[in-house]
Amino acid sequence: MKHFSLPFMMGAAMGLMMLRMLHSAVLNEGGPAGLALVVFIGAHVLLGLVALAATIFAARISQKARKFLARLHRPSAAHMATMLAGVATSGLVAHGFIHGGLV
């Protein structure tokens, strides 16, 4: 159950956080929410690029780095699907609670 509940709850929390930042940016509230959205997306892009560079480095050059990367957490497709299910569920529930429906 832990293999389902933890990624689901993390996805639900990140979904609500992203909705708040996106909602503020769309409504042009500006300020820290717009900056938070840029930082949130930028951090994910940066982490993806770092992971890609580290993988290429480990595969081609460093035996020590290859062993280190083998021990790191690498989410599977099922893990990502569970997180996205959490995002969708929390988004639908929050939207329905706040606005009284899906639309």
For the segment 70-85, the average pLDDT, to the nearest whole number, is: 81
Lowest-pLDDT choice from 6-15, 21-30, 91-100: 21-30
| Residue 59, CA distances (Å) to 42, 48, 49, 68, 77 in order | 26, 17, 15, 11, 22
Share of the chain above pLDDT 70, in %: 83
pLDDT digits (tens, 9 = 90+) for 21-64: 777 666 766 566 667 777 878 888 898 898 888 778 777 777 77
What's the whole-model pTM score?
0.56
